[in-house]
Amino acid sequence: MGLRILSTGISLPKTAVSNDRLATMMNTSDQWISSRTGIKYRHIASGDENLTSLSIAAAGTAIERAAIRVSDIDMIICSTMCGDYVFPSLACCVAEALGVTCPAFDLNAACSGFIYALDIADKFISTGRSKHILIVCAEMMSRLCDWTDRSTCVLFGDGAAACVVGEGNAIKYINLTSDGHTHLLYQQVGSGNSPFRPQKEPGFLVMAGQDVFKFAVSKVGQQTELALQALNLTPDDIDLYILHQANKRIIDSARARLEQPEEKFPTNIDRYGNTSSVTIPLLLDELLEAGSIKKGTKLLLSAFGAGMTTGTCVMIWE
């Protein structure tokens, strides 16, 4: 016995920022951003919106839809690259807001975080240690980006997506990797005010865009093929490919490699940009709400991110 996803929920900052609006702030254009990435809008946090508030809203919806009591949750895993505090974890902030006292911790596998969280949750449920686990992916990319660097800040968005998982047998395959190319995508912390080392200011997100693009295209393809081979499936056997929404061109290249029709590769990158580990559960939530995923639907989830990490999962919806 492993897990199945019982429910999902999402929460986005109220402000949607268009490419045209960004073009009034920096030397860019809707034409460049849309044609190179597929992005039209992203939600950006403003006012008192923070990761804890977004996470609680997404979690609240997921818990309500799962029709469980808050006290039934026996573990909280948050996937985030940077919570509201260095410590305590975002998961502990969510636990406090929900009023639960279960184990709660954050994990950082960058954009692959949701699949890493699913794998951990699957192990806790399959050993009987947990019955209901709340997974929350929450990212505030607008805090991490250098808003003077047009080559990165236009790509990302903020948001949160949650799911409640319980006992089931949905996961047929899951594989996690990390390749140790830490210089392709990173953000450095500062040195603090220690008198024992030179002062270094904290940095902003830095990305070697083309190298990340090449990594994604080759690695997503390779990991997808491994998953299909392991289950003795062909690309045609998968109903929906739910890929990390980083760039529409990366998704299109995976689709071309697998020779699959466009409708099997749903996207929402046009409305939300790259929300890191949130992209996959955000898309799952939308597809579930639209009735596109039903009992028996075969899904292949695939993500890549800083590290460089990847996560690949095949599940049959229960």
Which spans of this chain sit near ligand UT7 (rule: CB under 6 A)?
28, 32-33, 36-37, 111, 150-151, 154, 209-210, 212-213, 216, 246-247, 250, 274, 276, 305
Shortest distance, position 264 Cβ to ligand UT7, whole Å = 21
Shortest distance, position 204 Cβ to ligand UT7, whole Å = 14
Shortest distance, position 56 Cβ to ligand UT7, whole Å = 25
Q: CA nearest 169: which of 136, 126, 140?
A: 126
Please, which residue, 2 or 38, has the CB nearer to ligand UT7? 38
Cα separation, 167 vs 245, in Å, equals: 28
Shortest distance, position 18 Cβ to ligand UT7, whole Å = 14
Please, which residue, 59 or 137, has the CB nearer to ligand UT7? 137
Q: CA nearest 3: which of 130, 93, 136, 157?
A: 130
- CA-atom Rg of the chain in angstroms: 19
Please, which residue, 162 or 205, has the CB nearer to ligand UT7? 205
Please, which residue, 216 or 258, has the CB nearer to ligand UT7? 216
Cα separation, 157 vs 145, in Å, equals: 10
Which of the residues 78, 153, 244, 313 is marked catalytic? 244
274 catalytic? Reply is yes
Asked if 310 contacts 219 with a C-beta cutoff of 8 angstroms, the reply is yes
Cα separation, 22 vs 6, in Å, equals: 38
Partners of 17 in beta bridges? 42
Which of the residues 78, 82, 92, 111 is marked catalytic? 111
Q: How far is CA 69 from CA 34, 260, 303, in A?
A: 43, 41, 31
Shortest distance, position 196 Cβ to ligand UT7, whole Å = 35
Query: Strand, coil or helix: what is 226?
Result: helix
Cα separation, 184 vs 206, in Å, equals: 8
Please, which residue, 166 or 305, has the CB nearer to ligand UT7? 305
Shortest distance, position 157 Cβ to ligand UT7, whole Å = 11
In the complex, which residue's CB is closest to ligand UT7? 209
Please, which residue, 168 or 311, has the CB nearer to ligand UT7? 311
Cα separation, 318 vs 315, in Å, equals: 9
Cα separation, 92 vs 108, in Å, equals: 15
Mode of pairing for the β-strands spanning 309-316 and 133-140: unpaired
132 catalytic? Reply is no
- The residues that are catalytic are 111, 244, 274
